[in-house]
């Protein structure tokens, strides 16, 4: 089997999307069993796909707002593409997805206007008030899905430069930051990185336990934030506890069960 048949090929994407024939699927799985870098890439795509489906699948039955397509009739009953036109269809679907994301941004977040509160419930902690503002959990989840599967480059600055990491991110975010120590809970700091957000620079700290399970702590500035209760959100197998304290919003994200993540969130909060 020639590597060039897979490197950058639509076949790996089609495998993730479940579009292959049985024979094609077997070929890809044989390839992945002997090519760990491609296997890691596919696992990352699968994880991101599951997360996005968990966030948006419940919106697929909603009527598309007519303001997204002013003056244009909506197409209905479009037959599925044949296998012979799969590659062309995949290109078209990617363009359509890009247009849809632009439409989401331009229309105030249709499709996404409810997903952050979907399956979210208050989780009260002593001394913290409740809030309904949970907008910043979207980039926290997305950053978690993008970077936790990375084997070689999960962070920008490694844990052995923790002091530099804290100082650098504090300067960029213009607020003093401390990096919680979760070692007594079994999670060691991997490192951190600078991220963009709608409110300016944001930060992500990544931790990993002995079983290679990773959690991330996402921080961003929130101009109207107040001290709040912990709130809980699920997106597929990914769970998050998030809260606001002073000028910052925090989100602890991972694939742990709710109780374990709750205990870690409380541990983080006590150190901030």
- Whether residue 263 is predicted with pLDDT greater than 90 in this model: the reply is yes
Residue 17: band (very low, low, confident or very high) from pLDDT cuts 50, 70, 90: confident
CATH 3.30.200.100 domain extents, the chain: 121-271
Backbone angles phi, psi at 239, to 5 degrees: -125, 155
71 φψ region: left (φ > 0), alpha (ψ -120 to 50), beta (else): left
CA torsion sign for 12, 141, 211, 237 is negative
CA torsion sign for 147, 157, 203, 216 is positive
- Whether residue 208 is predicted with pLDDT greater than 80 in this model: the reply is yes
Tens digit of each residue's pLDDT (9 = 90 or more) over 22-59 = 877 888 888 788 878 778 777 777 776 666 665 555 55
Question: What's the pLDDT at 50?
Answer: 66
- Whether residue 134 is predicted with pLDDT greater than 80 in this model: the reply is no
Q: Which residues contact 16 (CB under 8 A, 6 or more apart)?
A: 42, 45, 46, 49
Question: What's the pLDDT at 168?
Answer: 95
Q: Which two tokens stand for residue 180?
A: 């919680």
Which is more confident, 31 or 86? 31
Question: What's the pLDDT at 32?
Answer: 80
Question: What's the pLDDT at 111?
Answer: 41
Mean pLDDT of 235-263: 91
Mean pLDDT of 243-266: 92
Supply the CATH classification number for the domain 121-271. 3.30.200.100
**How many residues appear in the chain?**
272
Question: What's the pLDDT at 163?
Answer: 94
Question: What's the pLDDT at 128?
Answer: 34
CB count within 10 Å of CB 233 equals 24
Hey, which bits of 43-156 come out as E strands? Answer: 121-123
Backbone angles phi, psi at 222, to 5 degrees: -130, 110
């Amino acid at each position: 089997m020639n590597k060039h048949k897979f490197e950058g090929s639509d076949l790996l994407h089609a495998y993730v999307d479940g579009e292959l024939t049985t024979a094609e699927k077997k070929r890809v799985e044989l390839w992945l069993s002997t090519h760990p870098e491609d296997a890691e890439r596919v696992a990352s795509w699968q994880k991101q796909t599951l997360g996005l489906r968990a966030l948006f699948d419940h919106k697929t039955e909603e009527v598309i707002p007519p303001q997204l397509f002013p003056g244009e009739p909506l197409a209905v009953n479009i037959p599925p593409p044949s296998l012979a036109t799969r590659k062309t269809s995949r290109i078209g679907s990617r363009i359509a997805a890009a247009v849809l994301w632009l439409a989401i941004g331009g229309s105030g977040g249709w499709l996404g206007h409810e997903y952050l509160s979907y399956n979210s419930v208050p989780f009260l902690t002593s001394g913290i008030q409740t809030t309904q503002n949970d907008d910043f959990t979207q980039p926290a989840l997305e950053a978690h899905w993008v970077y936790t599967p990375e084997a070689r480059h999960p962070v920008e600055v490694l844990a052995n430069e923790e002091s530099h990491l804290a100082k650098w991110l504090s300067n960029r975010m213009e607020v003093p930051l401390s990096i919680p120590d979760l070692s007594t809970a079994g999670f060691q700091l991997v490192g951190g990185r600078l991220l963009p957000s709608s409110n300016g620079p944001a930060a992500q700290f990544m931790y990993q336990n002995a079983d290679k399970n990773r959690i991330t702590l996402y921080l961003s500035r929130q101009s109207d934030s107040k001290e709040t209760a912990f709130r809980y959100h699920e997106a597929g197998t990914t769970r998050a506890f998030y809260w606001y304290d002073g000028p910052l919003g925090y989100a602890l994200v991972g694939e742990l069960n709710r109780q374990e993540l709750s205990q870690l969130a409380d541990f983080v909060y006590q150190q901030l």
